[in-house]
Amino acid sequence: GELEYQMTKKKKIVQKYFEQLYREDGINPENIEQYLKRKGLPEIREEQKEILNKQITAMELKRAVEKQKNNKTPGLDGLPAELYKCIYECLEPVMLDVYNEVLDFAKLPDSWREANISLIPKEDLDHKQIRNYRPISLLNADYKIFATIMSER
């Protein structure tokens, strides 16, 4: 293709490239289920489901907040992990309520479904080609804290 120099056109090219790359067209839930069955993955037992879905405790939350890395670029909300660590005592009751509602209703907040995507150039490749960049999703710290709790379970 041709080189593009105008920033607005560059942005549109990048957006179109990654939209096509990661589009959900053609994803069939039945095909996914069949694929997973062929892989012979064990099913989650009832007692495991109970562990995953039990109410989040203050101890789990505190441990997850402490595990977050400092000096990381925040997500779209602009709130870094250090903020959650600094004012944890004030946030704990609200965070517990929100996280346990997520478990109770099995619905993630919209802000947890959004990310700021940065493009990182792959080493030793032609950086004039969009395919030689990898997208990195910058997620909100509150989502990463929740994900830490769930992965620890």
pLDDT tens track for 119-137: 999 999 999 999 999 999 9
Confidence of residue 41 (pLDDT cuts 50, 70, 90): confident
Q: Which pTM was predicted?
A: 0.80
Q: How far apart are CA 42 and CA 20, in angstroms?
A: 33
Q: What is the mean pLDDT of the chain?
A: 93
Q: How many domains does the chain have?
A: 1
Q: Is the dihedral of CA 91, 51, 103, 33 positive or negative?
A: positive
Q: How far apart are CA 133 and CA 126, in angstroms?
A: 9
Say yes or no to pLDDT of 25 above 80: no
Q: How far apart are CA 17 and CA 131, in angstroms?
A: 8
Residue 7 is assigned to a structural domain of this protein? no
Residue 51 is assigned to a structural domain of this protein? yes
Q: Which of the 8 DSSP states describes residue 118?
A: E
Residue 12 is assigned to a structural domain of this protein? no
Give the residues across from 121 on adjacent strands: 133
Residue 145 is assigned to a structural domain of this protein? yes
For residue range 79-106, list pLDDT tens digits in order.
999 999 999 999 999 999 999 999 999 9
Confidence of residue 3 (pLDDT cuts 50, 70, 90): confident
Residue 81 is assigned to a structural domain of this protein? yes
Q: What are the phi and psi torsion angles at 133 (to 5°)?
A: -125, 150
Provide mean pLDDT across the span 22-31: 79
Residue 31 is assigned to a structural domain of this protein? no
Give the structural domain span for 86.
Answer: 45-152
Residue 132 is assigned to a structural domain of this protein? yes
Q: Which of the 8 DSSP states describes residue 144?
A: H
